[in-house]
Amino acid sequence: MTSENHVPENRAVGQVEDYFHQYLHRTIMLLGRPAVDTLRGKTVAIAGCGGHGGAAALTLARMGVGGFILSDPKPFDEPDINRQWGASRQTLGQNKARVYGELLKTINPDVSVRLVEDGVTDQNVDTFLDQADFLVDCLDVAVPGALRARMFAAARTRSIYAATGANLGFGGVVATAAPDGPSMELLGVIEDEATRDSRLPPCFREVFVPEYLDKIEEALKFHRVPSVAVAPALLGTLLSVEAVLALLGDTIPGWRPPICLPHFLLVDLVRMNYRIVHVDECVAKSAPAVKRSETVTIAASVGDRRSLLSQSGYNTNLLPDHAVELDLLTDSWNEIGLADDCAVESPTEPPVAPPEEFLRGLFGYRHFVPVFRGRFAEALLARALAGSGGLVVSNGLFPTTRFHLESNGFTVLELRAPESYDLQGDEPFKGNIDLDGLRKLLAGPTAAQVKAVYVELCANASGGHPVSAANLRAVRELTRPRGILLLLDPTRAFENAALIQQREPGYADQSLAGIVRELCSYSDAGAASCAKDFKCTVGGFVATSSDELFTGFRDLTLAFGDGLTGGSRAALARAVALFPVWNRCSSERVAQVARLWEALHKLSVPVVAPAGGQGVYVDVRALLPHIPVEQFPTQALANELFVASGVRAAANLASPEQQRRGIQLLRLAVPIDRYSDEDLKRVVTGFKDVMANREQIRGLVRRSGPAGAGGEFEARYSPAKAAAEL
C-alpha cells in the first residue's frame, strides 16, 4: 500500500454547487454565506482519526470545511466502537483514515480528501501538512514525542494553528498553539510527567470527577485509558470550534481568538466545570500549584467591567486579578504571580552551579553579588557609592533607581538625548545620553561635582528605547579620564542588544550576548533585575570588574544580607543557566512589541515612536487633549481600555523632566514569553473602541489615597463632571 491515497468521488458532475449551499443553508443563516465559502476553501489536517479526531473531521465537514488531510495507520477494532464515530461492526478491520474519508464524501461529495494511511512517520512528517490551514493532533500517546514535536514544528513553519485534546471521563482537555506563540512543547512536559508517574496534574481534580481520574491514572502507564462515548464527541466539537475561529478570524459575530497556550481549556460535563488554566499550574516540578486560572475570564461584559472598575475606585491597579483578561501592568515575573522561589523555565532541573558563574558568561563583569531583587541591587549600588554627595547624570532612570540615589545624598540630573522628547520622531536610539550636554557640563563650573553617569538600557522613561553602543562608548571616553564612574542598569539588556542588531551599523551579525558584554565592558558597575529578562520570580545582581567596588558590595551584603534562600539561589541559577532559551525569547519579545506597535499605529493611536524593547507606550496628551493634567488623563485612559477589552495597563511614572514638559505615557508592558500575538489582539480591539469614543472619555477626581511616592498606586478616584453638569 502506498502511504498516501485519495478517496474516489461518488457524485455526478454539476450537482455539487447547489448541494453545498443547500446542506449548509442553516449554517449560512447563522454565519452568513461569506463565512461558509471561506471554510470551503480551507484544509484541515487531522493526525489520528480515532475518537475525537474522527468526530472533529465529521463536524468540520458539516461546518463546510472543503479539504481534509487524514492520517491514521490503524484499523478499527472492537474496543473502538464505544467512542469512535466511524467504528461499527461493518468497519472492523478497515483503516480509520479511509473510513472517515468515505464518510466525509457522504456529507459533501465535493470535499477534497488526502489520505495518509501509513500514519505520520519520520519519512512523511515534513510534507504531511502541505496545503493545510489548520492541524488537529489526535495522535496516540504512544507516538514518540520527537515525531510529534517535528509535526508541531512543521505547523509553526507554515504559520498555522495546531490544536490537540485528550479524553478525561465525561470531558477533556483542549490546547491550541498559535504559530507565533508558545509551542506545544509546553504540553509535552505535562504529558511526560503524567505517563511517567501515572499521575495527572493535581489541579485537574478541581475540575473532573476524582473517581474517574483515579481509574485513568491507573491505566496511564499502559497507554490504554478508560473512556466513554461522550468525551470524544465533546472534544471533537471543542476542537472544531477552535479551528473555525482560527480559520475565519473576526469575520463572524461573537468572535474571540482561539484559547492558545500558555492557556488551555478543561471541561467536565458531569460536574459542569469549565476552566481555562495556565500551563504553569500543571507542571509539578517547575511550577507547583500556581493558581493562574482564576485570572482568565473571557465572558465578562462591558457592564461587568465598568462595575468592577467602580468598585476598585476607578484605579486599574486595584482591580482583582480574576477580572483582568490580559495583564500588561508589568513585565516583571516577580510581580506577575508565580510561586515564590520558583524558576519555571525547565521541566527538568539542569546541573546547578552558583548563579555568578552563569551571570559572568552573560554580562562579562568579573564579580557578581546576586541578591533577591533588582531594587535591592539598586540600593546596594547607591549605598556603596554614597559619600559626600554630588551629581549623577542619567538618561532618565526608573523611579526606584532615582529614589535610592537621592536617598543616599546624590542629585540626579537628566541629560537625555533631545530627540527623546519628540514622541513621534523616528530617532532609533532615544535612550542615549545627550553627549553635547554632557561635554558642556564637564567643561563647566560644576564639573567637579559629577560623581557618576548612570545609564539605563532600554530606557523605560523614553518608551523602552535602546542605548546605542556608540553612545555608551562615547560616554566612557568622556568619563574615564576624569575618574567619573559609568554605571549601568543592564535590565532588559538583551532587548537593547536585539535593537542594536537591527538599527546600529556593524552589529547585524553579532550575537546578543556579545553585544551585551560589550555594553557592560564600558561601565564600572551595574545593578539589574533578573525577573524581566529571565522568567524567574526572584533575583537581581550588583556587578563590577573592580576589586575595590566588589569589596564594598560584598561588605554591604555581610551587613544587610542578600535576601536569597538556598532554594531561591538555586532557582536563580537554573533560570540564568537556560540563557539560550531567553536569548531567543528576548528577540521574540522585541519582534512582538514591534508588531503590536504597528497594529496600534495603523489605528492612529499616538504610540511613542519607534517601537521599543519591552512594551508599547501611548502619548496620552495627544490622545486625550481635552482632559487637563490635573484630571489624571492617563488613569482615565487605562480605565477605558480595561472597560473596552479587559486589558490592564498603567501610567508610566514620569521623570521630573517629563513632568515639567507635561509628558504623560500609558505603558503596555509585554512580559517575556507570556502572551501570544493572538492574546495581544485584545489590545488592538480595545483601542478600536477607545479611539472611536475618545472625545467622550472623562477625567477623574482623586477622592482618597495615601501620600508619598507610591500613593497613586492605591488612590481612589471618581469620574469628573462634564462641563454641562457643572
What pLDDT is recorded for position 255? Answer: 87
Who's near 311: CB < 8 A, 6+ residues apart? Answer: none
The Cβ of residue 502 has, within 10 Å, a number of other Cβ atoms equal to: 15
Query: What count of Cα atoms within 13 Å lies in the side-chain half-sphere of residue 307?
Result: 5
What pLDDT is recorded for position 339? Answer: 36
Cβ-count burial of 13 within 10 angstroms (0-12 exposed, 13-18 middle, 19+ buried)? exposed
SS3 call for 690: helix
What pLDDT is recorded for position 633? Answer: 96
Farthest CA pair distance, the chain: 97
Name the phi and psi angles at 122, rounded to 5.
-60, -30
In 3D space, the residue among 627, 559, 620 whose CA is nearest the CA of residue 383 turns out to be 559
What pLDDT is recorded for position 10? Answer: 46
Q: What angle do CA 215, 221, 227 make, to 5 degrees?
A: 40
Q: Which three cell numbers stand for residue 726?
A: 457643572
CA distance 205 to 210: 6
Q: Are residues 57 and 131 in the same domain?
A: yes
Q: Is residue 642 part of a domain?
A: yes
Q: Is residue 195 part of a domain?
A: no
Q: Are residues 529 and 608 in the same domain?
A: no
CA distance 89 to 100: 15
The range of the structural domain enclosing residue 650 comes to 302-327+586-725
Which residue is associated with the grid cell 563583569? 365
CATH number at residue 371: 3.40.640.10
Who's near 168: CB < 8 A, 6+ residues apart? Answer: 200, 204, 208, 212, 213, 216, 231, 268
What pLDDT is recorded for position 196? Answer: 63
Element holding 369 (H helix, E strand): strand 367-371
Please name the amino acid found at residue 699.
G
Query: What count of Cα atoms within 13 Å lies in the side-chain half-sphere of residue 39?
Result: 27
Q: Is residue 194 part of a domain?
A: no
Mean pLDDT by 10 residues, the chain (726 residues): 49 59 93 95 95 94 96 92 90 94 95 95 91 92 75 89 92 89 69 68 87 84 79 94 94 88 90 84 45 39 82 89 88 66 41 77 92 91 85 92 91 94 94 97 95 95 94 97 96 95 94 92 95 86 95 91 85 76 80 97 97 96 96 96 94 86 94 91 95 94 78 85 51
In 3D space, the residue among 76, 214, 55, 40 whose CA is nearest the CA of residue 138 turns out to be 55
Who's near 296: CB < 8 A, 6+ residues apart? Answer: 263, 276, 277, 278, 325
Which residue is associated with the grid cell 482615565? 636
Global pTM exceeds 0.85 = no
Q: Are residues 651 and 597 in the same domain?
A: yes
What pLDDT is recorded for position 49? Answer: 93
CB 369 within 8 A of CB 534: no
CATH number at residue 691: 3.90.1150.10
CB 310 within 8 A of CB 539: no
Q: Is residue 168 part of a domain?
A: yes
Which residue is associated with the grid cell 560644576? 446
- Domain boundary (543, 577, 611) is at 577
Q: Which three cell numbers stand for residue 253?
A: 459575530
Quote the number of domains for the chain: 3
Q: Is residue 686 part of a domain?
A: yes
What pLDDT is recorded for position 334? Answer: 79
Q: Are residues 528 and 557 in the same domain?
A: yes
What pLDDT is recorded for position 358? Answer: 83
Write the DSSP symbol of residue 341: T
Q: Is residue 24 part of a domain?
A: yes
Q: Are residues 591 and 548 in the same domain?
A: no
CB 478 within 8 A of CB 438: yes
CB 123 within 8 A of CB 9: no
What pLDDT is recorded for position 189? Answer: 59
The Cβ of residue 672 has, within 10 Å, a number of other Cβ atoms equal to: 23
The Cβ of residue 725 has, within 10 Å, a number of other Cβ atoms equal to: 7
CB 289 within 8 A of CB 203: yes
Tell whether omega for the bond before 262 is within 30 degrees of 0, i.e. cis: yes
The Cβ of residue 140 has, within 10 Å, a number of other Cβ atoms equal to: 14
What pLDDT is recorded for position 18? Answer: 78
CB 168 within 8 A of CB 141: no
